[in-house]
Amino acid sequence: MICSHQGCQVAPKMRAEFKELLASGATDDAILKRFVGEYGTGALADKSAVPAGTFALFVPFAVLFVTIPALVLVLRRRKRRSASANT
């Protein structure tokens, strides 16, 4: 129950409702069904998992670590082929 915008009024309400449901002995399935019914499937989203922004930060570095060695290998092979063709 993490909200992405400042001053959210829904998240505190959801937390209080969740605590009440737990205290009353509601099952996990009953709590999930109630939250989905009241707040929609967005209530099930785990925003504390890896955010897309964090993933996007690592993609350029991953591309560099893959493409630079591949480029070096391709250039070395071309150089060898051109050197052997000239002799």
Distance CA 45, CA 4 (A): 12
In 3D space, the residue among 31, 47, 28 whose CA is nearest the CA of residue 39 turns out to be 31
48-81 pLDDT, tens digit per residue, is 655 667 777 888 899 999 999 999 999 999 999 8
Distance CA 80, CA 85 (A): 8
Distance CA 34, CA 36 (A): 6
Reading the block at residue 32, the tokens are 């999930």
Q: Where are the domains of the chain?
A: 1-49, 50-87
3-47 pLDDT, tens digit per residue, is 666 677 888 888 899 999 999 999 999 999 998 898 888 777 766
